[in-house]
Amino acid sequence: MNSDKILKLRQRVGWSQSEMARAIGLAHPVTISQWENDHKNPSGVTERFLRLLHSLSDSELQKLARRLEEMDRGEPRVKK
C-alpha cells in the first residue's frame, strides 16, 4: 500500500496520525508519518488490515473506525 493511499485513508476517516496509530494498534504514531512520507512501508498483518480498510465504502469505514475507537477506550460491544 503506497503512501498516498495511506494518507487518503487516514483523511477519509478523519484521524490524526496519533489516532490512526492507536486505532490500528501501533505503539508509535511516528510510524504513520514514516509511511505517509515513503520512509517505511507497512508489512504483514498491518498492510493487509490497511488494504481491507481501504477497500471499504465510506459508511463501512466510518462504522469500523468508530468501533476501533470504542475498543481503544475499552467500551464493551453492544449487540443490536
Fold topology of 3-72:
434 Repressor (Amino-terminal Domain) (1.10.260)
Q: Among the residues of the chain, which ranges form H helices? A: 3-13, 17-23, 30-36, 44-55, 58-72
Q: What is the model's pLDDT at position 74?
A: 81
Q: Residue 69: its pLDDT value, please? A: 86
Task: Return the pLDDT at 79.
Answer: 61
Give the pLDDT of residue 77. Answer: 66
Phi, psi of 41 (to 5 degrees): -125, 140
Residue 73 confidence (pLDDT):
81
- pLDDT tens per residue across all 80 residues of the chain: 899 999 999 999 999 999 999 989 899 999 999 999 999 999 999 999 999 999 999 999 999 998 988 888 886 666 65
Residue bearing cell 470504542? 70
Sequence spans of domains, the chain: 3-72
